[in-house]
Amino acid sequence: MTTDRSTFYHPTYTLPTNPPITSTFYPPLSPATSTTLVVLLPPYPPLGGTRHDPLLALISQALRRPPYNALCLTLDYPGKLSWTGSKEIAAVHSAIQAGIDVLQESAGGGVDDGVEVVVVGYSYGGLVASHVKALREVEGVRAKLFPLPVLLEGNALWQLTRSKVA
């Protein structure tokens, strides 16, 4: 995937997952090797939650500096969505792997120290984020999970946008 780092808004990108997931990828505005992938999950799609959710768009724009790359997902793929998040969790795992591939590709062949993945969601996206546990199975991934209420409590979002997450 190629992106123009100078643009404010990045177009829809269909991740090569099964089934395909639509997303918007926000790389940092300054060209630097970025090793943190922040995956943002929207509220329940049948009730209007998409990757264009105003809160997710705000967070994405706040993260547009190294070392962060924001990946906003829309979880409305063919087939019926579940209220338990089981299908969506599998889709998020696939999207994370695709996002890692994009980061490694943009880094010119690989990221030496691995990729840190931060999963953020609220409402239904928070349910899905809280169940994305098996990220440790992806080699080189250091995972942090934040349902949005936890992220906003105690200025965790402020810390995430101001300094590298340890």
Tens digit of each residue's pLDDT (9 = 90 or more) over 79-111: 566 667 777 887 888 888 888 877 777 666 555
CA 50 → CA 44, 125, 159, distances in Å?
8, 10, 25
Q: Is the pLDDT of residue 3 over 50?
A: no
Cα–Cα distance measured from residue 51 to residue 56, given in angstroms and rounded to the nearest whole number: 7
Q: How does pLDDT run across 34-84, given as a tens digit for each residue?
A: 678 888 888 877 776 778 788 888 888 788 777 788 888 887 655 566 667
Outline where 23-85 has alpha helix (H): 54-62
Q: Is residue 145 part of a domain?
A: yes
What's the domain count of the chain? 1
Report whether pLDDT(32) > 80.
no
Position 4 scores a pLDDT of: 37
Is residue 128 within 8 Å of residue 92, measured between CB atoms? Answer: yes
CB 1 within 8 A of CB 105: yes
The answer as to whether 4 is a domain residue is no
Handedness of CA 60, 35, 4, 98 (dihedral sign): negative
The whole domain housing 24 covers: 12-162
Q: Note whether residue 3 is domain-resident.
A: no
Asked whether residue 5 is domain-assigned, the answer is no
Q: How far apart are CA 113 and CA 20, in angstroms?
A: 28
pLDDT at 9 over 60: no
In a domain, 63, yes or no: yes
- CATH code at position 151: 3.40.50.1820
| Residue 137 belongs to a domain | yes
Q: Is residue 6 part of a domain?
A: no
pLDDT of residue 159: 47
Query: How does residue 163 score in pLDDT terms, banded at 50, 70 and 90?
Result: very low
Residue 148: count other Cβ atoms within 10 Å of its Cβ. Answer: 22
Q: Is residue 157 part of a domain?
A: yes
User: How far is it, in rounded angstroms, from Cα 83 to Cα 73?
Assistant: 17
